[in-house]
Amino acid sequence: MQDALINWFTTNLSWLPREAVAFIISMVPILELRGGLIAAALLDIKYIPALLICVIGNTIPIPFILLFINKIFELMKKTKIFKGLVEKIENKAMSKSDKIKKYEFWGLLIFVGIPLPGTGAWTGALIAALMRIKLKKAVPAIGCGVLLAAAIMSVITYFIPFLIRTF
C-alpha cells in the first residue's frame, strides 16, 4: 500500500519540484518520513537535503496533533457523520498504546522510531494526545523517535543501495 501511495504522489505531483514532493509525502499520515525518504531516493534527491526535508516535513504536523486533536475529536463526535469515524480512529490508535502506557517516554520513542506499518509520528502523537501525556515528555520522545526512524530509513534507502552500487 505504501508503494502505491508513493507512486501516486510522485506521479500526480510531478509538476512540483522533487524536494516539494518528498516534503509533502513526509507530512502525510501512513507514509510519513518512511515514504518521504523512499520517494526522495527514487527522485534522486541527495541524501542530506532529503533527510532534512523529510524530518522537517514529518515533524510539522506533530504539535498540531498534540495540541488540537482532542478538541477536534470532541467536536467531531457531536455529529452523526463523524462520531463513528472518530471512535474507530481512537480505538485503533489506543489498541497500539500498551507499550507506551508501560514505558511512556521510551515506549513512545520506540513506537515512533521503529518504521513498521501503523507506527510513526502521527500515530504516536495521536496516542500521546489521547493518553494526555504531558507535552514536555511527548515532544522530545516523538522528536527522538523521528530521528531514530530517519536513521533506520537512511540505512535502508541510501546506505544499502550505495553499498550495492559500490560493490
Task: State the DSSP string of 84-145.
Answer: HHHHHHHHHHHTT-HHHHHHTHHHHHHHHHS--TT-SHHHHHHHHHHTT--HHHHHHHHHHH
Query: Distance between CA atoms of 127 and 120, rounded to whole angstroms?
Result: 11
Q: Is the pLDDT of residue 119 over 70?
A: yes
Q: Are 45 and 75 in contact (CB under 8 A)?
A: no
62 burial class (0-12, 13-18, 19+ CB within 10 angstroms)?
buried
Give residue-wise pLDDT tens across range 69-107.
Answer: 999 999 999 999 999 999 999 998 888 888 888 888 999
Distances (CA, A) of 140 to 69, 74, 144: 18, 26, 6
Query: Distance between CA atoms of 46 and 94, rounded to whole angstroms?
Result: 37
Q: Is the pLDDT of residue 135 over 90?
A: yes
pLDDT recorded at residue 24: 95
Q: How confident is the model at residue 2 (pLDDT cuts 50, 70, 90)?
A: low
Calculate what percentage of the chain has a pLDDT beyond 90.
75
